[in-house]
């Protein structure tokens, strides 16, 4: 069974797969551009996330229309995480919103897929900053550190290189700006319909994480999503009371016993169906 699966796995060795990745890439690039424009003082983060997710659906609707059974759409809901919030802030209809202020450091993160081939993009900006009104100090340092760390990581993502080469390079760049990569964050290999493939790149691992985390070399035709998150602080995430709005469905089956669990599951499934209808 496992062998059969291995043989059927589609990679960028096939042109059609490259075409689908490119199409997803163009869509997230276009959406990101629009979202950057939405990030101004007094804008609602919830509105921005909603508009962005709708854009992804609209754009993915326009491509590969002839293939009726082909799945496409949102691969990762739009997140707008501000200042100390590390990532994954994407308030739903009933969650508390956040209104952007001048000087906020805004991290945008979103993903689209065509036939399960995923493109994700991220970008950091400072609200109100421009060529005439440049960001300064720690905020400017942390954004530059992240930019240069990503550029370095991208150049090291070559077949034969080890994942720890990227780990060490990102660390060095961050330290040049007196910043720290967020401890333990992982960049994952991407596969068709899989946003968290088995090979990963860790950033700023603790001693324990370094022992646990698997070393590997990159290979031809593998695809990765590089996730670099840099902090001007200690670089260690702490749990706060903000509500989580992003969940991942596992393949596990479980008999739900509580009425509340069943109604929650129904709500989540309903939302997935809505997204699916939007796609048609």
Ligand X SMILES: *[C@@H]1O[C@H](CO)[C@@H](O)[C@H](O)[C@H]1NC(C)=O
Q: Which residues touch 187 (CB under 8 Å, ≥6 apart)?
A: 153, 166, 200, 201, 203, 224, 225, 226, 227, 228
Interface pick for ligand X out of 29, 83, 159, 220 (rule CB under 6 A): 29
Q: Which residue's CB is nearer to ligand X, number 22 or number 194?
A: 22
Report, in Å, the least distance between residue 24 CB and ligand X.
8
Q: Which of 245, 275, 276, 253 is nearest to 96 (CA)?
A: 245
Q: Which of 115, 159, 172, 149 is nearest to 227 (CA)?
A: 149
Q: Which residues touch 221 (CB under 8 Å, ≥6 apart)?
A: 11, 12, 13
Interface pick for ligand X out of 11, 14, 22, 34 (rule CB under 6 A): 22
Report, in Å, the least distance between residue 153 CB and ligand X.
14
Q: Which residue's CB is nearer to ligand X, number 18 or number 273?
A: 18
Q: Are 237 and 206 in contact (CB under 8 A)?
A: no
- With binding defined as CB under 6 A, does residue 25 bind ligand X? yes
Number of residue whose CB is nearest ligand X: 25
Q: Which of 179, 201, 55, 59 is nearest to 124 (CA)?
A: 179
Q: Are 88 and 142 in contact (CB under 8 A)?
A: no
Report, in Å, the least distance between residue 217 CB and ligand X.
24
Give the whole-angstrom CA distance, residue 275 versus residue 122: 22
Identify residues 195-234 at the interface with ligand X (CB under 6 A). none
Q: Which residue's CB is nearer to ligand X, number 27 or number 45?
A: 27
Q: Are 225 and 195 in contact (CB under 8 A)?
A: yes
Stretch of 24-32, 35-43, 68-76, 188-196 contacting ligand X, by CB under 6 A: 24-32
- With binding defined as CB under 6 A, does residue 63 bind ligand X? no
- With binding defined as CB under 6 A, does residue 26 bind ligand X? yes
Give the whole-angstrom CA distance, residue 48 versus residue 57: 14
Stretch of 25-33, 90-98, 124-132, 150-158 contacting ligand X, by CB under 6 A: 25-33
Stretch of 19-27, 50-58, 99-107, 188-196 contacting ligand X, by CB under 6 A: 19-27
Contacts with ligand X, residue ranges (CB under 6 A): 22, 25-26, 29
């Amino acid at each position: 069974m496992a062998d059969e699966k291995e043989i059927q796995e589609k990679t960028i060795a096939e042109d059609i797969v490259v075409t689908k990745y490119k199409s997803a890439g163009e869509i997230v690039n276009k959406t990101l551009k629009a979202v950057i424009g939405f990030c101004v003082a007094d804008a609602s983060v919830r509105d921005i996330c909603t508009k962005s997710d709708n854009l992804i659906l609209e754009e993915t609707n326009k491509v590969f229309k002839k293939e009726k059974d082909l799945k496409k759409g949102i691969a990762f809901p739009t997140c707008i995480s501000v200042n100390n919030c590390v990532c994954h802030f994407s308030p739903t209809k009933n969650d508390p919103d956040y209104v952007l202020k001048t000087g906020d450091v805004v991290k945008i993160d979103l993903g689209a897929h065509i036939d399960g081939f995923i493109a994700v993009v991220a970008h950091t900006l400072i609200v109100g900053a421009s060529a005439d009104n440049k960001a300064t100090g720690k905020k400017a340092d942390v954004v530059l550190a992240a930019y240069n760390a990503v550029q370095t990581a991208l150049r090291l993502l070559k077949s034969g290189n080890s994942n720890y080469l990227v780990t060490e390079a990102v660390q060095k760049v961050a330290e040049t700006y007196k910043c720290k990569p967020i401890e333990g964050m992982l960049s994952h290999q991407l596969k068709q319909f899989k946003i968290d493939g088995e090979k990963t790149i860790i950033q700023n691992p603790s001693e324990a994480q370094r022992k646990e985390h698997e070393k590997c070399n990159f290979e031809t035709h593998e695809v990765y999503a590089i996730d670099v998150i840099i902090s001007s602080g200690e670089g260690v995430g702490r749990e706060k009371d903000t509500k989580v709005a992003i969940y991942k469905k596992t393949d596990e089956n479980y008999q739900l016993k509580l009425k509340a669990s069943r109604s929650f599951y129904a709500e989540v499934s309903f939302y997935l169906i809505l997204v699916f209808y939007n796609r048609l």
